[in-house]
Structure 1
Amino acid sequence: MLTTLRRDIPQWRRIRAEALPPHVVEAAAAARSAGDWRRAAELARTEVSIDLEATRQRFGGVAADELEDDLRHLCLDLLWWHLPRHRGGMTTLHPRVSAVLAPSANADAGPLLRVRLPKSPAGPQRLRLDVTTFGELESERWYVAPRYTWDVRETLRLRSAWGGSPTRLPLLTPDGRPLPPDQLGVGDDEASRTERVYLRLAAGDLAAAWEECGFDVTEVDPEALQQGGVGPACPIGLASDVRAASRVFNTSQVNTLYGARLDIDIPDTPSPWREPASGTSDADPPDSTAAHPGALSAVGADLGDYLEIPVRLATDGVPADLILIAAGHRTPGDLHPLMRAALFPSAPANPPRTPPRPAAPPTAQVRCQGTWHTVTIADRRLRMEHHTDAEVQREETLRALGGTSTGCFAVQLAWTTGTGRLPHTFSATVREVRHRMQHGDTPWLLEGLREGVIDPLMRDSNGWSLLHMAMWVDFRQVVRGLLQDGVPVDARDKIGRTPLYLAAMNGGHPDFMRLLLDCGADPRAETEYGAYPSYIAKHRNDWQDLAFLSQL
């Protein structure tokens, strides 16, 4: 178990670093306090498709008023911290899943707030907020996000959700220090039981940990309590969440989202709760890609990934650096402000944060023509200080005739095509630009272009140009400038994919695709495998309306 957790820690550190930056969280909080929930959602990279008047006409005034009240207290920047992530080593959101923000009651009949995650882990990392119903979710993969993960009125429940008491968190003293070993798990109070759960999880005794939380797992293969490669299931606080979901949705069966089926009895619940997990061999497992009639997908085993507190124990038999969850935060100051207030109420508030700025342009010394040459980025282009324009033109001619580039010219080729090796500083710049764009940091990109420290003609290791990546940012501010800087509208990556193709494949915004078409993009530009954008829009799209593209 601990090996799995330690393997996940670097990924979760990156995930937390890629959450909405502090200055955005602060701006969203200000908008929410001013009553502008739509602006707060926009800052949290969320597209809102909600017509409150239409909701009122469909569900009635009382239900619409309750939904609008939830919207006024909706903290999407906190929800970002709790959304499931892709498990393939990436740090982007888990694709094709919806988080349902259930009301306090009557979720089976009334309107529900739904947050739709992206179509693809390689697509724009943006959310979509709309209104749906329990019945309309039948063909979707979805789960219930507990209210303390998104409602500012209930975030103090974050402490109790992980077994904490009003005065302290599990395994920690009121001032946040580790409890002495002789005080761990002693007594019959709730906090002591929670400490025993954590210690049993640490020791790998998963069945005992679940039983300590009130789950009957006597007939369960212990290996089924651990999802392969993503850390163990964490039962702390889960029983109360399951009971709440069962009550709110008026259903006797609550399921988790991923994996095969596992039967678990929870006291005081209407009927057995079926918990999916990996490693089982049921003949008729539930379909993990769709909700079933009378069933409810709920946060299950992945809950354990969301706790943000590193725990250190110094006692025989327990590693001195035990981190019970893969979050990687070292201080309360690293947490979301609402999480810090709930988990560490005595910790001082974070100072105001300023937006990050692009770093200085990369520079490298390259062995070329028997000596060391300087290569750098200046005035939006890669510059080779020791070569004249005539030499560059001659090299391009030789390369077109089949010649091989070396030295500075090999660096130039790798920088503008994505093929070949780059100096370390240049590789780091490529990763930083891709990272910032993938997580929607348009101001950072625009400042870098304006200051001349980002070259519009650069490519990543896939051969993607900045125009390929423009679907991740505010493309309305970016596309035409990139085209003016010389990026082809049908720039090809290593397998012939154009920006239009990638957008159609990965859930890019339809307006981004329309803009590319208006700028001359070819809807039938084929990849090496014969596919093209309009084909993808017609035959491999079930996510959005792309009729305007599929007919071309």
Structure 2
Amino acid sequence: MTGAELTVWQRVRRYAVPPRMIAECADRRRAGDWRGACAAGRVDTDVDLADVGRRFGSATAERIAAELAGFAPDLLRWHLPRALGGRTSLATALVFTLAPRVDVVDQDTVALQVELPKTVDGSQRLRLTVAPLGKAPGPELPGHLWHADEAAGLRAAYGGDAQRLPFLTPDGAPVPFDGFATAHGDGAPARAERSANLLTAEHLVDAWREAGLELDDTLPAFRYSHYKVTREQVLGHRLHLVALAPAVRVLARRHAAEGVVLNADWRLRFLFTPDGDTMRVRMLGEDERRSELPVLAEPCYRVPPDLELLYRGLIAPADLHPLVRAALFPAAPDGPVAARGPAFAPVRVRCRGQWHRIDNAGGRLVPLDHTPEEVQREQALKALGGKVAGCFAAQQGWTDGRTRLPRALQDQRRELMQTILHGDTPALLALLDAGLDPHVRDGRGSTLLHLLRCLDHEVLLPRLLAAGLPIDVRDHRKRTPLHVAVGWVGTPALVLALLEAGADPKAEDDNGTSVSDLVEYKGMEYYEDESGENHRDLKLIAKYIEERT
């Protein structure tokens, strides 16, 4: 994993699953309230157990109910793939199957399925449904990634044994890389380390064999040269090799399949075929789709980011999700994850040829090295359209999203926006109580009203309007919060709330597109259920907008 990816994963672990969410999900789960756990974990549920019983039988309904009783939305969110590329958002437009707790499945097996968000910039809410698997089910997530009672299985899935985890000593310290080649024993941790050493030396086949995989390294044929797979690409993919054979055997057995497919990227695909005690692997060409075979989910084949972060010293066991910590470090002290949030602090700014201090206690910038008279003069200059600089330019950048901020303030704003993106409404309310400037904007000019798609609008909308934010405030592309709610996967409830607060559906963005145009032409197509509550709300929205225009 590259340094940039590690930095993003470190930020994911800091913000994407807030400690408050973990605690609330656990409380509701222990109370037997799976719907409450889903609400705390920001999962929209479309599961009616009575309807499941009528459609698929009482035995299926009882099994689904038992799976829901142990469902840990926060644990699932912890393990889901991320967009990366500098973003901490969930990977988009994916559907995963939560592995049914049965021995064998087929296309008629009814299972819980989770849908990930449609955009990286929209709400990070998940959607939980129940349906037959069909002929091409979404990749299957084993129970240790989402079920509280099976979380202890994560240790074995990560290639750990009773003594330690791969790349780490029994007490969690990193194993020096020069010790990988001489790692002793036949346990999975030692084999993972020897395999990693062989990969570094570009001994591809030997590295896979060390992990219990017989790889045919014949490169697949492709019709066009720019599609071709190279040996360097194969070597460059960081697969958790030691975990592959066990995961494939379980999946193949459950689906009664001859093999399992791993889609490393849009070109590089592997076919795993169990053959007695041997696991044979070869790469697939462009004409070998094998869509009838089950697909290994990314969290089952990637090098676990937690192992990488622990190895690099970027997180400690105490920073792990409690269920993950208990699985990986059973001797570690139990307890909640420490609360985390934006680390606001004073910064130094170059101003009039000198270094000045700006306090950012609570998210409101206050120059510390200017007299009240100087502050008043700069405010008057700004009101008259004059250009401010130094400390006052930093103040302006905090609330206009255009003026360049010093690096330290950019970092602090980024941390604030991470809190918002991942839906920590209580943390944002606490920041507002502590003095956060409600007029703060991100680098796109989005205000807190534009970002309501990620938060609990019922609590925040009245407060932000009371703080003086205009309901039709514009971002850098002249989009209003209503534009964003309609076009960026806001909920129908949020759209209606903005309209009822006076948002103008005729307001146009910099392309001349109004919200009415978005509803008519874009059609909010991401809501596909034409019979459910979302469709009903959309019709209300269309009617409301029609009346307003």
TM class by shorter chain equals 0.7 to 0.9
Q: Counterpart in 2 of 1:238?
A: 244
Q: Counterpart in 1 of 2:44?
A: 47
Q: Deviations over 1:485-527 (max 9, x none)?
A: 2212222111222222222332222211111111122234322
Aligned length: 518
Quick check: which one's helix share is greater? 2
Provide the identity percentage. 34
Q: 1:430 aligns with which of 413, 422, 429?
A: 413
**Aligned ranges for residues 132-531 of structure 1 at < 5 Å?**
132-135=131-134, 142-176=138-172, 181=179, 184-188=182-186, 192-221=190-219, 231-252=237-258, 254-257=260-263, 258-268=265-275, 282-284=285-287, 286=289, 294-300=292-298, 303-310=301-308, 323=311, 329-350=314-335, 352=336, 355-356=339-340, 367=351, 386-387=372-373, 391=377, 394-396=380-382, 398-399=384-385, 403-407=386-390, 409-424=392-407, 426-452=409-435, 454-531=436-513
Shift of 1:471: 1.3
Q: Deviations over 1:233-286 (max 9, x none)?
A: 22222222223223333444533454225343422389999988xxx8x44475
Q: Deviations over 1:450-495 (max 9, x none)?
A: 232x111121211111111121111111112112222122221112
Cα distance in 1 for partners of 2:195, 2:397 equals: 52
Cα distance in 1 for partners of 2:173, 2:360 equals: 47
Which stretch of structure 1 is more off in the superposition, 341-350 or 431-440? Answer: 341-350
Residue 67 in 1 paired to residue 52 in 2? no
Cα distance in 2 for partners of 1:34, 1:110 equals: 29
Q: Is the 8 A contact 2:33 2:69 kept in 1?
A: yes
Cα distance in 1 for partners of 2:33, 2:123 equals: 24
Which stretch of structure 1 is more off in the superposition, 14-23 or 212-221? Answer: 212-221
Q: Deviations over 1:17-51 (max 9, x none)?
A: 12323343233223222222222222222222211
Shift of 1:355: 4.0
Shift of 1:532: 3.5
Cα distance in 1 for partners of 2:25, 2:430 equals: 22
Question: Kindly tell me: are residues 135 and 524 of structure 1, through their superposed partners in 2, closer, same or farther at Cα, counting changes over 3 Å?
Answer: farther
Q: Counterpart in 1 of 2:2?
A: 5
Cα distance in 1 for partners of 2:175, 2:93 equals: 41
- 2:126 is matched by which residue type in structure 1? L
Which stretch of structure 1 is more off in the superposition, 93-102 or 146-155? Answer: 146-155
* TM score, norm. by length of structure 1: 0.81
Residue 84 in 1 paired to residue 81 in 2? yes
Q: Counterpart in 2 of 1:319?
A: none
Cα distance in 2 for partners of 1:76, 1:538 equals: 35
Residue 533 in 1 paired to residue 515 in 2? yes
Cα distance in 2 for partners of 1:272, 1:7 equals: 33
Question: Kindly tell me: are residues 335 and 205 of structure 1, through their superposed partners in 2, closer, same or farther at Cα, counting changes over 3 Å?
Answer: farther
Question: Kindly tell me: are residues 182 and 525 of structure 1, through their superposed partners in 2, closer, same or farther at Cα, counting changes over 3 Å?
Answer: closer
Which structure 1 segments of 5+ residues have no match?
287-291, 313-322
- 2:27 is matched by which residue type in structure 1? A
Q: Is the 8 A contact 1:255 1:274 kept in 2?
A: no
What is the root-mean-square deviation in Å for CA atoms of aligned residues? 3.8
Cα distance in 2 for partners of 1:203, 1:183 equals: 10
Shift of 1:367: 3.2
Secondary structure in 2 matching 1:86 = strand
Q: Is the 8 A contact 2:15 2:341 kept in 1?
A: no
Shift of 1:14: 1.3
Secondary structure in 2 matching 1:129 = strand
Cα distance in 1 for partners of 2:429, 2:129 equals: 30
Q: Is the 8 A contact 1:524 1:532 kept in 2?
A: yes
Shift of 1:72: 1.0
Q: Deviations over 1:343-372 (max 9, x none)?
A: 22222223x45645766675766736x999
Shift of 1:113: 1.0
Q: Counterpart in 2 of 1:130?
A: 129
Q: Deviations over 1:397-426 (max 9, x none)?
A: 532xxx544455534442332111234554
Secondary structure in 2 matching 1:109 = coil
Shift of 1:199: 2.5
Q: Is the 8 A contact 2:97 2:113 kept in 1?
A: yes
Cα distance in 1 for partners of 2:142, 2:110 equals: 17
- 1:416 is matched by which residue type in structure 2? T
